Structure 1
Amino acid sequence: MKTTPKRRFKINRVAALVTTSLLASMAITPSVYAQQQLAQDDQQMETIEVRGIRRSLEASMNTKRFANAVVDAITSEDIGKFPDKNIGDALQRISGVTVDRQYGEVSGVTIRGTAPEQSRVLLNGQSVASTSWYDLGPATRTFNMELLSAEQVSAVEVYKTPKASIEEGALGGTVDLTTRQPLDLDTNTLMVSAELARGSLYDETDAGGAFLASWKDEQERFGILASYSIEQLTSGRHVLESIGSYYEYFAADPDTGQESTVGAWAIGSQAFRAERERTSAQLTAQFAPTDNTGFVLDYFRFELDNPHVNHNFLTVGGRGSGSENVQNNALGGTEQATITPAYASIIYNPVVRNAVNMKADVLNLSGKYIGDTYEVSAVLGQSTSDGGTQFGASSWWIPATDEGDKIGDPAFENGQNSTDGGFSYDATGPYQVWLSSLDATDASQFKHAQEANFQTTVQEHDIRYAQADIKWLLSGDLFTSIEAGVKVNSSEFSRVAIHRNPADVIGFVPNGNLSNWSDGVFTDLHSQSSGHILDSYAKLDEDQWWDFISGKYEAGELIETSALGDTFGVDEDMLALYVQSDFSGEYFRGNVGLRYVDTEQTSSGYADGQAFKETVDYDNWLPSINIAFDVSDDVIVRAAASSVMSRVNYSDLKPGLAIQENFGSANGGNPYLKPYEADQADLGVEYYFTEASLFSAAAFVKQIDNVVFLTEEVEFVDGCGAQPSEYDSCRVTRPRSNGDGDVTGLELQLQHTFANGFGFVSNYTYVDSETTRPDGATEMVPGVSENSFNGSLFYENDHISARIAYNWRSEWIGVGAAQAVRNDDYQQWDASIVWHAMENLDISLEGVNLTNEVIQSYDTNYDLTQNTIEFGSRYYLSASYKF
C-alpha cells in the first residue's frame, strides 16, 4: 500500500512560542470590565441574576437574543440546580436536538439531522478527550454524555451555525459546556447536597452527594473554587431482542411445501443490571492582578464505573435441527415457526464484567489581556481519557439432557443431540416464545457447556492544544472589531482489542449443574410487554461465579491474547487559522469570517499479523457569515451561511485488509476517507413579546458531501487471488467516502411565563434528512427523526418550583447488534418539584421516564421484530443547602 510521507507539526515548539510570547500578558478579565470594553459586541446585553425556573429561562433567552449566531442556551437555576439530571436530558429540550439512549441515560446528541458523532461537545470552548466503556460498538468521536455530571455545569450553549472563531468539526452543531469561576461567585460560597436514587427495574436505593466551595480575597483579585460530586444508581435495561443478523437458516422443502425459515440467529430475554458510579471533580484557580489582566487554571476529572451483569436466555433458531409450522410475511421474513431441537439450541448466557470504566482528565490554562482598543488571549491545555471493558466471564448453560458435557465433546464423533431444545416463537411484535418441554425456572435442568469466547477492549485518547487569539476594536461605521487566531491541536487515539479462545477454558467447571451456581429466579421481566413473553428464568449467582472465574485468572488458567485485527490507532495533528470580523449598523449586526484547518492523519493497525501505517493530509477552507436584523425592539430576523466539516469515526480509519486469497476478496478499514463536508444556510425570525416570552421559527438546509458507506469495489491487492494475474481483480469491501446527503428542516419554538407563576416552554422540529448511496438508493440518516416535539409546563412561587416535561420523536433508523433497525416513535414524561424549605435549603424530588416507555424496533429488510427495550423509571430525592 502506498504511504504518504509523514509531516508532523511540532506542537511542543508552537506551544512554547505561544506561551512565551503571549501567556505573560494574557488574562481572564473581571466580567464587569470586559463587558464595558466590549459593549459594542454585546449590544448592551442585559445581566440577569439567575434564580428559579423563570429566571433561568430569561437568562437562556437573553443569550439567544443577543448572540451574533444562531444559538440556544440552557442556564442553571442556581449552583447545583441544573434543570435536568443529565446534560443530555436537558439538551433534548432544545429545538433541533434529539438524543440517543443506550442504557437509559443519554449518551449522544443529534443536532439538525446529522448523526451524533457529527456534533461537537466542548468544555469551556475546548475539546475533551473521550473513550467508551462499551466494547462491542465502533470507536466514534462522540463525547459520551454519561460521563459528565450536571452538577458542575452552569450553562450550555448550542451553536447551530458556526463562527470562524469556534473550533471546527461539527456538521450538525457545537455544544459548549460552561463551568463556574470563583471571581464570579460571592466569597465563601458553599453548597452541599445529598441524594437518594432508585431505578424501577431493580429494588435498590443508592446514595450520592455533592459539594462546591468558592473563595476570593477582599480585592477580588484571586479566587479558588473546588467541587466534587458522586452519583450512584443501580439501573439497566430489560430487552426482548434478536441476536445476530437475519438470514435463511432452513431452506424451503418442496416435498412438504414447508417455506424457508428466515430470522435472527437467536431470540433473547435479556436482563442487564449495572451498578453505575459517576464522579466529577473540579479545581479552579483564578487570578486577576489588574483590572485588565488575569489567568484561569482549571482541572477537571470525570469518571464512570459501570460494572454490570447481562443475563440472557436464548432460544437459538440458527442451531435447531429444522422448522415446522412456518408462516412468512410478504418480505419473506418468518413471523411464526416451531424449531425442532438440536444440541445447544437453548442457551442461558450470563455475562459478568466487573472491570468496566471510563474517565477523562482536563488541565487547562487560559488568560486574556484587554487594552484600550484590543484584547489578546491564549489557551494551553491537555485532555486525556481511557476506558474499556477488561476481563469478565461469558458462560453457556444448555439443557441438562443435551448429550456431551461441552461443545464439541470428543466422545460424540457424529455430533451431539438434544431432546429438550425445541421451541416455538412469534416475531410480529415483542417476541413471544413457547418452550416445548424445558422449564426455564428450574435451574437443575441446565448444565455448563463452555466459557464462551469474547473480546475486550482498552481505549486511550490524548489531546494537546495551544491557541492564541487577538481582537481589535474598530471605530468604523460598519465593522466594530476584527479578530484572528491560531490553534494547534494534537490528538492520539488507540484501541487495543483482546480475546480469549474458548478451546482453552471449556469443560473446567466442577459441579456443572446450574442448581449449584444459581441464587434464584428472575420474575416479572419486561413488565411493559404483554403476551407469552419469556419473563422468568433461573439465574446465575454472579458473585459466586465471579469469585470462581477471577480465581482462574489469578491461577493463570484463563489467558487473554491480543486481537491484532481489531487493534488500531489514529493520530492527528491539526493546525487551524481564522480571521473574523464583527459588524453592526443601526438595525443590524453580525459576523463574517474564514477558518482554515490542515489535518495530518496517521492510521496504524494490523492485517494478517502484519503492521500497517498510512499517513494522509487534507485541508479545509470554512467560510461563515451570520447576520441579525433588528426589525423592531422585539423582532429579530436572522440569516446565516457557512461551510463546515466533520472527521469520520476512528474505527473506519483502521488500515490494512483481511485477505481471503482463495476467494479473491478482502475487507478492512480505509485510512484515505475524506472528512464529511457540508454547505449550509439558515433563515429565522424571533419575536420577544415579554421579557420571558418568545416565539421563533427557523428554516435550514445542508448539502453534505463525502458521506461514508460500506461498499465493494474491484481493486489491485497484492496476494488477493489464487495467482498474481488475479490480484488486480480483488473484490474489496471497505468504508468509502462515495455518498452524499441533504438535510432540510424547520424549527418552531414558543415559550411564555404568566403573571400567576405558571409558564410553558415548547418546540417542534421537522427534519427531512437522507443520504444517497453510490448506486442511487436513498436512506434515512441513522439517529434522525423526521418529527420531534418537546414541551414543559412549570409553576413556581416563593415556596415551590414544579415542572412536568414531555418529549416525543417519530420513528428513526438506529443500529442494532448486527444490522440497521427501524425504531418506532418514542415518548417520555419527566417531572420535578423543589420545595424551598428554608431560605437556603431546598428539598427536591425528580422522576425520569415516569411511564416506563419502551423502544420498539424492527429489522429494515424483513420487517421482523428486532428489540423491545425497557429502561425503567428513575427517581431522585435530594436536599441541598447553600451557605
Structure 2
Amino acid sequence: MFNQRIFKTSLLAVCVGQALAGVSVHAVEAEGQAAAENMEVIEVRGIRRSVEASMNTKRFANAVVDAVTAEDIGKFPDKNIGDALQRISGVSVDRQYGEVSGVTIRGTAPEHTRILLNGQTVASTSWYDLGPATRTFNMELLSAEQVAGVEVYKTPEASMEEGALGGTVNLKTRKPLDLDAHTYQVSGELSQSSLYDDTKPSYSFLGSWKDDDSKWGILGAYSVEEIVDGRHVLESLSGYYEYFPKNTGTGQESTVGAWGIGSQAFKAERERTSSQVTLQFAPTESLDFTLDYFAFELDNPHVNHNFLTIGARGAGASDVVNNSKGGTEKATIKPGYASIIYNPVVRNAVNMQSDVLNLSGKYSGDTFELSGVIGRSTSEGGTQGGASSWWIPATDDGDRIGDPAFPNGQGGTDGGFTYDATGPYQVWLTSLDATDASQLKFAQEANYETTVQDHDVTYAQLDFSLPLDGDFFNKLEAGVKYNTSDFERVAFNRNPKEVIGFVPNGNFSNWSGGVFNGLHSQSSGHTLNSYAYLDTDKWWAFISDKYAKGELVEVANFGNTFTVSEDMLALYVQTDFSGENFRGNMGLRYIDTDQTSSGYTRNGAAVSPFEEDASYDNWLPSINFAYDLSDDLILRAGASSVMSRVNYSDLNPGLAIEANFGSASGGNPFLKPYEADQADLGLEWYFTESSMASAAMFYKDISNMVYSTQTVEYVQGCGPTEPEWNKCRVTKPQSGGDGEVLGVELQLQHNFDNGFGFISNYTYVDSETVTPGGDTQMVPGVSENTFNTTVFFENDYISTRVAYNWRSEYIGVGSVQNVLNDSYQQVDASIIWHAMENLDISLEGVNLTNEVIQSYDVNYGLTQNTIEFGSRYYLGAAYRF
C-alpha cells in the first residue's frame, strides 16, 4: 500500500532541494503534482483529513508549531476559533459571555498572546465599557466559517512579528488559486441558548473562481450569525474593604466584604457579520499578487438586570462571622437608604467592527525571493447611549437620591438583609419581597460611562530570501517592517437632570415586565433567583424621549479619555540550516518603539490636556532546532527572547473616577513592555500516518510584570458626598515584578481503522510571580493543570465528535482584586449527517452540562462570582456545489 507519510517527506525534500538549486516554487509544485498523478494516493476526508493536515504542519515546521485545520470549506471543527484552540496542548481559554474571548498559551495571560490574520495585525476594540483596552484581537468578531486553518507558534522565529509572551496565533484564510475553479457553498443554521427561549437564524456563503490558466482568481465570502446569549451571575461589586469598623463596646467584629452583592441576569442579542473579498493575480510562475479585504462586525445590544444588596450602604451590621483572613463570611445588614437597589441597564447601541485591506506580492527569481506587504486595519467599538436606573424600596425616604426635602440625610426601613459569602452568594431579605414590583420605586437614572474607541494600524513590510550553497546554512532571510498604531478611547459620563418627577408614576409596578424565576439553576442554597424585572421596551421608549428633550446629557469623562500612539520599526535577519538528520533556523529581531500617551489632568474645576513620551528598544534572538532520531522520531529544542507590550488602558495617564462607588482608576504611561527569556525541549513520535505522541518541556523567565496597586487617598469628586473624597480607593498599575513559568506538555492522538479516533493533551504549568511588594502568587490567567480530549467517529454517512476540556484553578485577569477561579470543565459535541454527496446536516451542542465558573477573593477568602453561561445548541445544513 502506498505510504502517504513517506511520499510527503520525499516531496518536502524535493522542494527543499529544488529551492536550493534556484528552481521556482511553481515548478516544484508542478513536478510534485505530476509525481503524485503517477502514484496511488489515498484521499483522506473529514475529521481524519483535518487531523493529518494539522499533524503534518507540526511535523515539518522548524519551530514548535501546532495547528488546527478546517476539514473542508466552512467546516471548521468548532463554533468559535478559541474553542478549537483549547484542543492544543499548552493552550487554555478565558470565557466572559459564553464564547471564548481570550487565549492563554504556555503560562501567560491572554493579553500576551499575539493574534494575527494571515501574518498581520488586526486593529481591535471592544464593546464592554467596563473592560480594559487590550491589544489582542477579539475572537468574538471572527466567524469560524471563513478560517481555513490556525497555526500556533509556541517558539518564535525572527521573521515573525513580535509581541507574544506566550505564543503567536496566525489565522489563515483561503485564496482562490488554491481552490478548484468553481467552489461554492451555502449554509444555514438555527441556534438557541438554554438560558433564554429564543431561536435565531444564521447563514453563510463562500464562492471562488479562477481562470483556466490559474492566473486570475477571486473569492468572496459572507456570513451572518445570530444568537441570543447571556449569563446568570451571583457577583460582588467594586472590590473588598472594611466598611463597618470593629465595635469595641459591643464586641462586634469589623465588616469586611464587597461593596455590594448582585443577582445578575444578562441577555444579549448578538449578530456577527463577516465579509471577505480576495483577488489573486499570478501572471507568471514566479510572480504573485494578492489583495485581501476583510470586514468584521459584532452588534451586541443587551440588557443587564441586577438586583443588588449593598452592605456598604447599610446602617450597620450584626451577627458578623469573620474567617481567619479577616473577611466577613456572614452578616446581617441593618437597613439604610438605598441599601437595596434593582439596577437594570439597557444598552442598545453596542457595536464593534474591524476591517483589513492588505496587498501582498511575491517574486521568485532564479537565485532569490522578494516579497512585500502593505496594509491598513481600522476598528471602531464601544457602548453608546442607554439607560441605567436605580429602583429602591418604596418605603425609603424621598422621591429620589439626594432629595432636598431631607437635608439631614435619607433613611430606609426595608433595606435589611442577611448574606452568606462562603459559597455562591446566599441572601435573605429581611422584609422586602423582591418579586412584588409595588415594593420598589424609582430613585435615579444613574450616572454611567459611555465609551467610543478607535484603533488604526498601518504597516509596510519587505522581506528578502536568498538560497545558500553551504553545507550547513542553506537560506538567508532579512527584512524590515514599519508599524504605526493609534488607539483612542473617548469616555462620557451621563449626568441626568435630577428633578422630582423625572419619572411619572414612579412605582415599579407601572414599569415591570414580569418576574424572573429559576435564575442561577446550577447554584445550590438560598440564592436570590427570583425578582421583578423592568419592561425594557417601555422604559427605553421613555428614556429616548428624555434624550430628545435634553433631560439626559452626556458630558466628557476626561479621566478615562486617552490616546496611545506608537511608531514601531523592526529589522530582522534569519538563516535556515540543515544537515544529515537535522534542520532549524536562527535569527535576531530588533524593535524600536516610540510611544506617546495623551490624557487629561484635573486641577479643581479646570481640565487640561497633557501627554507623556516614552521609547524603548528590544533585541530578540531566537534559535530553533529539530533532529531526526529516526524516520518517525524528532527531537526539538529552542531558545529565544520575547517581549509583549502592555494594555492600552494601562498607559492612560489620566484618572477615571467612579463617584457612586468611591473609587478611581488610572494608568502609567511609563510602563515598560513585558520581557522574557525562554527555552523549549521536546520529543515527537509519529507512529502512523495520522497518529503521534509528543512530550515537551518549556521554561520562561519573565520580567517587567505589571501589577495593580490600590491606595486610599483624597480625590476630588470621588464619592457621593464631599466628606468621602478623602477615602477614594485609587487603583493604578506599576511594573517591576518578576515571574517564572516551568511547564510540561503531553500529547497523544490516534486514528483507528474502524473509523474511531481521539486527540488528547495534558499540560502542567508551575507559574510563579513575585510582586514589587515581595508577595508570591500564580501568574494571572494560568492553570497549573489543563486536559483536553476529543473522541470522534466517522464513516461515509456520519461524522461525530465529543470534546471535553478541563482546567484547574487560576487567578483571574483584570480584576479589581486578586480573584481565584475554581477549576472548570466543559463538554461539547457535534454530529454531521452526510445526507447527500454535497449536503450535510449538522447538530451541535456547546457546554452541554451547563457548567459554571466559581471564583473567590484571594486576600479575604470570600466569594467573588458564580457565572452560569447555559448550554447552546445549533441545527444546520450546508450544501456544496
TM-score above 0.5, yes or no: yes
Provide the residue aligned with 1:384 in structure 2.
Answer: 378
Asked whether the equivalents of residues 604 and 613 of structure 1 are also in contact (C-alpha less than 8 Å), the reply is: yes
Counterpart amino acid of residue 56 in structure 1: S
Map 1:525-540 to 2 at 5 A: 525-540=519-534
Counterpart amino acid of residue 264 in structure 1: A
Provide the residue aligned with 2:494 in structure 1.
Answer: 500
1:134-186 Cα deviation digits (max 9, x unpaired)? 11011111211111110100000000000011001111000000000001111
Q: From the superposition, tell whether residues 408 and 813 of structure 1 become closer, same or farther in structure 2 (CA, over 3 Å).
A: same
Match for residue 751 of structure 1 among 728, 749, 752 = 749
Provide the residue aligned with 1:648 in structure 2.
Answer: 646
Asked whether the equivalents of residues 469 and 486 of structure 1 are also in contact (C-alpha less than 8 Å), the reply is: yes
Q: From the superposition, tell whether residues 128 and 50 of structure 1 become closer, same or farther in structure 2 (CA, over 3 Å).
A: farther
1:729-756 Cα deviation digits (max 9, x unpaired)? xx99853331111111100000011000
Provide the residue aligned with 1:20 in structure 2.
Answer: none
Provide the residue aligned with 1:619 in structure 2.
Answer: 617
CA distance in 1 between partners of 2:440 and 2:664 (Å): 41
Matched, 1:400 2:394: yes
Match for residue 679 of structure 1 among 666, 677, 680 = 677
SS in structure 2 at match of 1:147: coil
Match for residue 335 of structure 1 among 326, 329, 335 = 329
Cα drift, residue 50 of structure 1 = 6.3
Match for residue 477 of structure 1 among 450, 464, 471 = 471
Provide the residue aligned with 1:235 in structure 2.
Answer: 229
Provide the residue aligned with 1:318 in structure 2.
Answer: 312
Provide the residue aligned with 2:297 in structure 1.
Answer: 303
Counterpart amino acid of residue 846 in structure 1: E
Matched, 1:553 2:551: no
Match for residue 208 of structure 1 among 199, 202, 208 = 202
Q: How many residues align?
A: 828
CA distance in 2 between partners of 1:47 and 1:375 (Å): 31
Q: From the superposition, tell whether residues 108 and 506 of structure 1 become closer, same or farther in structure 2 (CA, over 3 Å).
A: farther
Match for residue 870 of structure 2 among 839, 847, 872 = 872
Stretch moving more, 592-601 or 408-417: 408-417
CA distance in 2 between partners of 1:644 and 1:340 (Å): 54
Cα drift, residue 712 of structure 1 = 8.6
Provide the residue aligned with 1:738 in structure 2.
Answer: 736
Provide the residue aligned with 1:123 in structure 2.
Answer: 117
CA distance in 2 between partners of 1:256 and 1:655 (Å): 46
SS in structure 1 at match of 2:381: strand
Question: Could you tell me the TM-score, scaled by structure 1's length?
Answer: 0.91
SS in structure 2 at match of 1:60: helix
CA distance in 2 between partners of 1:30 and 1:832 (Å): 43
CA distance in 2 between partners of 1:735 and 1:303 (Å): 31
Q: From the superposition, tell whether residues 388 and 139 of structure 1 become closer, same or farther in structure 2 (CA, over 3 Å).
A: same
Counterpart amino acid of residue 141 in structure 1: R
CA distance in 2 between partners of 1:369 and 1:817 (Å): 49
Matched, 1:191 2:189: no
CA distance in 1 between partners of 2:425 and 2:799 (Å): 42
Q: From the superposition, tell whether residues 817 and 470 of structure 1 become closer, same or farther in structure 2 (CA, over 3 Å).
A: closer
Cα drift, residue 569 of structure 1 = 0.5
Q: From the superposition, tell whether residues 421 and 668 of structure 1 become closer, same or farther in structure 2 (CA, over 3 Å).
A: closer
Q: From the superposition, tell whether residues 837 and 244 of structure 1 become closer, same or farther in structure 2 (CA, over 3 Å).
A: same
Q: From the superposition, tell whether residues 31 and 345 of structure 1 become closer, same or farther in structure 2 (CA, over 3 Å).
A: farther
Matched, 1:516 2:507: no
CA distance in 2 between partners of 1:388 and 1:147 (Å): 14
Match for residue 487 of structure 1 among 478, 481, 498 = 481
SS in structure 2 at match of 1:61: helix
Cα drift, residue 677 of structure 1 = 1.0
CA distance in 2 between partners of 1:122 and 1:532 (Å): 46
Asked whether the equivalents of residues 444 and 498 of structure 2 are also in contact (C-alpha less than 8 Å), the reply is: no
CA distance in 2 between partners of 1:410 and 1:712 (Å): 34
CA distance in 2 between partners of 1:593 and 1:191 (Å): 42
Provide the residue aligned with 1:52 in structure 2.
Answer: 46
CA distance in 2 between partners of 1:580 and 1:281 (Å): 35
Match for residue 80 of structure 1 among 35, 51, 74 = 74
Counterpart amino acid of residue 203 in structure 2: G
SS in structure 2 at match of 1:837: strand
Asked whether the equivalents of residues 482 and 582 of structure 1 are also in contact (C-alpha less than 8 Å), the reply is: yes
Cα drift, residue 666 of structure 1 = 11
1:511-559 Cα deviation digits (max 9, x unpaired)? 1111111111111100101111111100000011011111111222211
Provide the residue aligned with 1:291 in structure 2.
Answer: 285
Cα drift, residue 32 of structure 1 = 4.7
CA distance in 1 between partners of 2:583 and 2:532 (Å): 67
1:612-654 Cα deviation digits (max 9, x unpaired)? 1122221111111001000000000000001111111111212
Provide the residue aligned with 1:439 in structure 2.
Answer: 433
Asked whether the equivalents of residues 343 and 389 of structure 2 are also in contact (C-alpha less than 8 Å), the reply is: yes
Matched, 1:833 2:831: yes
CA distance in 2 between partners of 1:374 and 1:38 (Å): 21
Provide the residue aligned with 1:852 in structure 2.
Answer: 850
Matched, 1:812 2:810: yes
Counterpart amino acid of residue 274 in structure 1: A
Match for residue 843 of structure 1 among 841, 844, 847 = 841
SS in structure 1 at match of 2:96: strand
Q: Percent identity?
A: 73
Asked whether the equivalents of residues 642 and 675 of structure 2 are also in contact (C-alpha less than 8 Å), the reply is: yes
Cα drift, residue 816 of structure 1 = 6.9
Cα drift, residue 267 of structure 1 = 1.0
Asked whether the equivalents of residues 558 and 654 of structure 2 are also in contact (C-alpha less than 8 Å), the reply is: no
CA distance in 1 between partners of 2:251 and 2:709 (Å): 37
1:567-589 Cα deviation digits (max 9, x unpaired)? 10111111111111111111100
1:387-446 Cα deviation digits (max 9, x unpaired)? 000011100001111121101111112222212111111111111111111111111111
Map 1:202-281 to 2 at 5 A: 202-281=196-275
Counterpart amino acid of residue 590 in structure 1: G
Match for residue 151 of structure 1 among 145, 154, 157 = 145
Provide the residue aligned with 2:585 in structure 1.
Answer: 591
CA distance in 2 between partners of 1:451 and 1:779 (Å): 41
Asked whether the equivalents of residues 790 and 808 of structure 1 are also in contact (C-alpha less than 8 Å), the reply is: yes
Q: From the superposition, tell whether residues 667 and 827 of structure 1 become closer, same or farther in structure 2 (CA, over 3 Å).
A: closer
SS in structure 2 at match of 1:53: helix
Cα drift, residue 253 of structure 1 = 2.2
CA distance in 2 between partners of 1:467 and 1:439 (Å): 64
Q: From the superposition, tell whether residues 784 and 875 of structure 1 become closer, same or farther in structure 2 (CA, over 3 Å).
A: same
CA distance in 2 between partners of 1:47 and 1:97 (Å): 34
Asked whether the equivalents of residues 26 and 286 of structure 2 are also in contact (C-alpha less than 8 Å), the reply is: no
Q: From the superposition, tell whether residues 384 and 505 of structure 1 become closer, same or farther in structure 2 (CA, over 3 Å).
A: farther
Counterpart amino acid of residue 616 in structure 2: Y
CA distance in 2 between partners of 1:210 and 1:307 (Å): 22
Provide the residue aligned with 2:792 in structure 1.
Answer: 794
Provide the residue aligned with 2:15 in structure 1.
Answer: none
Stretch moving more, 407-416 or 831-840: 407-416
Stretch moving more, 859-868 or 253-262: 253-262
Asked whether the equivalents of residues 210 and 228 of structure 1 are also in contact (C-alpha less than 8 Å), the reply is: yes
Provide the residue aligned with 1:103 in structure 2.
Answer: 97
Cα drift, residue 503 of structure 1 = 5.2
Matched, 1:692 2:690: yes
CA distance in 2 between partners of 1:460 and 1:215 (Å): 35
RMSD: 2.1
Q: From the superposition, tell whether residues 490 and 47 of structure 1 become closer, same or farther in structure 2 (CA, over 3 Å).
A: farther
SS in structure 2 at match of 1:151: helix
Match for residue 606 of structure 1 among 580, 600, 619 = 600
Q: From the superposition, tell whether residues 48 and 710 of structure 1 become closer, same or farther in structure 2 (CA, over 3 Å).
A: farther
Stretch moving more, 367-376 or 794-803: 367-376
Provide the residue aligned with 1:575 in structure 2.
Answer: 569
Unpaired stretches in structure 1, ≥5 consecutive residues: 1-28, 40-45, 660-664, 714-730
Asked whether the equivalents of residues 236 and 261 of structure 2 are also in contact (C-alpha less than 8 Å), the reply is: yes
Q: From the superposition, tell whether residues 776 and 817 of structure 1 become closer, same or farther in structure 2 (CA, over 3 Å).
A: closer
Counterpart amino acid of residue 272 in structure 1: F
CA distance in 2 between partners of 1:879 and 1:226 (Å): 20
CA distance in 2 between partners of 1:395 and 1:119 (Å): 38
SS in structure 1 at match of 2:836: coil
